[in-house]
Structure 1
Amino acid sequence: MTPRDRADQSLEGSLERYLQDKGKGRGGDGGNYRRNAARELERFAEWAAGDRGSDDWIGIVPDDVDREPIFEDLDERVFREYARHLAGDRGLKQNTVQTYYRYISAWCGWCVNEGYLKAHYAQRASAMAPLPEDDGRKPGDQQAWTSEQRHVLTRHVDERARDAVEAYTTLPEDTDPLDKQRARYATLKVARDRALVFVLAYTAVRVGELLRDPNDPRRRGVRWEEISLEDGSMDVYRKKQQWDAASLPDPVISPLRSYRQLMDPPTERWPVFPTFDQRTLAELVREELAERGERPEAITEYRDEYARDLLLALDQDIRPPSITTDGARSILQRLSEAAEIDIDHPKHDYLAPHGGRRGMGEVLVRAFGYTVAARYLDNSEEMVRERYSHIEAGELGDVATEALNEIDSLT
């Protein structure tokens, strides 16, 4: 089908097909790219129909026509106007404007390949002219945990876990069973948080490779069967869409081993970092016990015997879901505040998960160079050099200073 054959088709009709092609998982329903692209394409479609923009904006359909926007209405002037809308009407940062426009441009390119458009109008110079210059930075992706921040946070969670373990293991023998369960639950929670912080701080694994992503069914969170404490390795589903082994350095082993002993998961398929959300666990326990043939009264009696549904799930091998990537951010927000960590960042007032990875990148580049850092970070050396170019610039500055001092000493 040629672009002329599809020129009278509505824009809306192409959006879902594009998102399915770009999505992940069965049916193309998952993935962060699909979610983010869907949001921006919906905004573009609303703008094209006249539902977004200034008060006098009527959309791209001619005044004397009563219909939805179609591909025949699109040309480079439309994309130029949308670039101007992004840059001026929404008060977005320059790199965010670039990111949002790239979603629209990618869809435009797909439309060319699929026969909806005859040319990639969005990539023409006149269409892109209103866009601000990209400063090369990704919004929210520049935080890096410093050595001091890493030390303060890991020391804080380590002390909390040690205190909780001691309180739990030294309970008197005549302690009420429910009180003992509450102590165990509290210990499991701080032990989980400690293990999570240490993994994020020292492995440089992406948080989306470690925990559950609700938008990508393949990322269901790492399980105990995928961790080898003896070998110091962990299998994760990488950003490049394949399984790979990540290293577990020495600081991570002890928190994970202690946490595993406390939890004593009923099977290796249990998530390493399960959710502790009471509402989620209560619903899960009720549904699973009902499927096993238990009557509502019996389920209530079962649950009354436990201080928390997580403990019942452990005893009955009712496998909970992993915490999500958003859940990890909430945990780090809470811990950063409790540890009273000094944070100076324009976007994050807490130690964000990606900052742990970036902080380890800083350490590795400075200690072993770009090649070793690239292998540990599961990135190309070219990308690592680009993202940590400030390190090389600083080193070259030191070399230049040393050279100038040497010349000055000879004159």
Structure 2
Amino acid sequence: MNRNTPTGRTQSTSLTDSFERYLQDKGKGRGGDGGNYRRNAARELKRFVEWAASDRGGDDWTGIVPDDVDGEPTFEELDERIFREYARHLAGDRGLKQNAVQTYYRYISAWCGWCVNEGYLEAHYAQRASAMAPLPEDDGRKPGDQQAWTSEQRHALTRYVDEQARDAIETYTTLPENVDPLDKQRAHYEALKAARDRALVFVLAYTAVRVGELLRDPNDPRRRGVRWEDISLEDGSMDVYRKKQQWDAASLPDPVISPLRSYRTLMDPPTERWPVFQTFDQRTLATLVQDELADRGERSDTIEERRDEYARDLLLALDEDVRPPSITTDGSRSILQRLSNAAEIDIDHPKHDYLAPHGGRRGMGEVLVRAFGYTVAARYLDNSEEMVRERYSHIEAGELGNVATEALNEVDSDV
């Protein structure tokens, strides 16, 4: 085997020396520092090299580094046999499901293919049939991506948040004129929070927008969360940064317009650049207000006096135009867990005991496919028709089953 690759890199190069450049190529944002794929790939590459170096405690694998060599695994030790053993290692992990094994191996395989293109390896060993033989068959499902809100669940949740928002707004707007200012601020804050929760639930339930397109992703600086400047309530549209890495307009159906308009009126954001679904986390807002006012030249004692005038830092932020961040995708899950429990919604799902954000998108997909077919659903979901047919194949299977039943009934009636 030629120890010098076509690009001049030697096969004695450590595996880890390739990781950072690979992750930059696969990452998102300036410098390739962000993105969920980069984070997940980095985790799996770390596990792979630990396994290869026998650093995974309790494993039977003895590693690919010779016992008499002090160093990290290098490319000259890699061949299809190594990837076959790693596939066997993943498949033998009793804690991993079939689709998880496939997913983890794909991260390593993608890196292997990149290494071939970059001249670290002479062949894509990870994709050879012998290397992949120990892998379990892929059942076609993605972990955690199967929940779909039913019509009953969607109606129960939207009805609950609507009632909560109406009550909180009525409480705030009907306060007597002589009420204590801090009590009025507390009522305002509770109304804002309930209105935000309602708007978030309605958008997730009816727009089928991916939660990662709607909210802030800490690992991708381009996904800073939808702002008011991105929304046109008159046109019924919302600009989002799509999964395909470009801005695009998403539809806002009628049920979403009123909750968003009510929330905007109540919030009265200082600028259009404010996030629609801003965080209400007190620690985050306290730090933000203190730092921003200090940067503006305010003394610490003056800042604390100002904060004492407000029941919540959010209200001070509104008055001083201290723009808070959007909630994160993880934050949306916490909100939906709280709301699902409070609404006492009946949920029967092996992974989620609450209505997860992606379930709103899948539930809307079910409605669209059944009502208008795969082509219309694909356009609304911003997916290919092929992908939608694959994801919602159970609908077509059910329809074909009904056709078969009718055919059998017709034949049997002639007998």
| TM-score, length of structure 2 as denominator length | 0.97
Contact 1:161 1:194 in 2 (8 A): yes
1:407 aligns with 2:394: no
**2 CA distance for matches of 1:6 and 1:210?**
45
**2:296 counterpart of 1:298:** no
Residue 231 of structure 1 pairs with residue 235 of structure 2: yes
- Local SS of the residue matching 2:316: helix
Identity %: 87
Structure 2 CA distance for partners of 1:256 and 1:5, relative to 1, 3 Å? closer
Report SS of the residue matched to 2:238: strand
Asked if 1:337 corresponds to 2:335, the answer is no
Checking the alignment, whether the CA contact within 8 Å between 1:3 and 1:118 is kept in structure 2 is no
User: How far apart, CA to CA, are the structure 1 residues paired with 2:349 and 2:94?
Assistant: 23
- Separation in structure 2 between the aligned mates of residue 259 and residue 341 of structure 1, nearest angstrom: 24
Name which of 356, 360, 379 aligns with 2:364: 360
- 1:240 has 2:253 as partner: no
CA distance in 1 between counterparts of 2:286 and 2:57 reads: 45
Displacement, 1:299?
Answer: 0.6
Displacement of 1:56 in angstroms is 4.3
Provide the rounded CA distance (Å) in 2 between the counterparts of 1:66 and 1:375.
56
Q: CA deviation at 1:54?
A: 3.5
- Which position in structure 2 is the counterpart of 1:14? 18
Amino acid at match of 2:164: R
Q: Which residue of 2 aligns with 1:79?
A: 83
The CA distance in 2 between the partners of 1:20 and 1:55, in whole Å, is: 30
Which of 172, 184, 187 matches 2:188? 184
| Cα offset, 1:174, TM superposition | 1.2
Following TM superposition, by how much is the alpha carbon of 1:292 offset from its aligned partner in structure 2, in angstroms?
0.8
Distance in 2 separating the partners of 1:217 and 1:152: 35
Q: Specify which of 20, 25, 30 is matched with residue 26 of structure 1.
A: 30
The separation in 2 between residues aligned to 1:125 and 1:57, in whole angstroms, is 21
The one of 171, 188, 202 aligned to 2:175: 171
In structure 2, the partner of 1:348 is: 352
User: Mind listing any 5+ residue stretches in structure 1 that lack a counterpart?
Assistant: none
Counterpart residue number, 2:144: 140
Could you give the per-residue CA deviations for residues 118-168 of structure 1, whole angstroms, max 9, x where no partner exists? 011111111111111110000110000000000000000000001101111
Letter in 1 for 2:154: R
CA apart distance, 1:5: 4.0
Query: C-alpha separation between the residues in 2 aligned to 1:20 and 1:27?
Result: 7
Q: Which moved more, 1:84-93 or 1:378-387?
A: 84-93
Q: Say which SS state the counterpart of residue 274 (structure 1) adopts.
A: coil
Structure 1 CA distance, aligned partners of 2:401 and 2:16?
Answer: 53
Where in structure 2 are the equivalents of 1:118-267 lying within 5 Å?
118-267=122-271
Paired residue secondary structure (1:97) = helix
Cα pair 1:211 1:324 within 8 Å, conserved: yes
> Match for residue 377 of structure 1?
381
Show the counterpart of 2:399: 395
Q: Contact conserved, 1:204 with 1:377, CA < 8 A, in 2?
A: yes
Deviation at 1:64, TM superposition (A): 2.2
CA distance in 2, matches of 1:191, 1:274: 12
| Shift, 1:406, TM fit | 1.1
- How far the C-alpha of 1:404 sits from its partner, in A, is 1.1
2:30 and 2:282 map into 1 onto residues whose CA distance is: 30
Deviation (angstroms), 1:408: 1.4
> How does 1:21-100 map onto structure 2 within 5 Å?
21-52=25-56, 54-89=58-93, 91-100=95-104
Whether contact under 8 Å (1:53, 1:85) holds in the other structure is no
Distance 1:363 1:140 in 2: 20
Query: 1:24–1:31: 8 Å Cα contact kept in structure 2?
Result: yes
Structure 2 CA distance, aligned partners of 1:145 and 1:406?
35
RMSD, aligned CA: 1.0
Residues 55-64 or 123-132, more deviating? 55-64
Letter in structure 2 aligned against 1:285: V
Query: What letter matches 2:16 in structure 1?
Result: E
The AA in structure 2 aligned to 1:40 is E
C-alpha separation between the residues in 1 aligned to 2:95 and 2:198?
A: 39
Partner in structure 2 of residue 272 of structure 1:
276
Runs of 4+ in 1 over 4 A off after TM superposition: none
Using the alignment, how far apart are the partners of 1:301 and 1:5 within structure 2? Answer: 62
1:309 corresponds in structure 2 to 313
Ranges in structure 2 where 5+ consecutive residues have no aligned partner: none
Length, aligned pairs only: 411
Q: CA deviation at 1:409?
A: 1.5
The amino acid of 1:286's aligned partner reads Q
1:10-62 deviations in Å (ceiling 9; x for gaps): 00110111000000000000011101111111111111111116354331111
1:89 deviates by 3.0
Between the aligned partners of 1:354 and 1:93, the Cα distance in structure 2 is 21
For the residues of structure 2 that align with 1:331 and 1:120, how far apart are their CA atoms?
Answer: 44
Q: In the alignment, residue 117 of structure 2 is paired with which amino acid?
A: N
Higher alpha-carbon deviation: 63-72 or 116-125: 63-72
Relative to structure 1, the CA distance from residue 3 to residue 61 in structure 2 (aligned partners, 3 Å threshold; closer, same or farther) is farther
SS in 2 for 1:394: helix
For the 8 Å contact 1:51–1:58, the answer to whether it is kept is: no
3-state SS, counterpart of residue 6 of structure 1: coil
Per the normalisation by structure 1, the TM-score is 0.98
8 Å contact kept, 1:288–1:318: yes
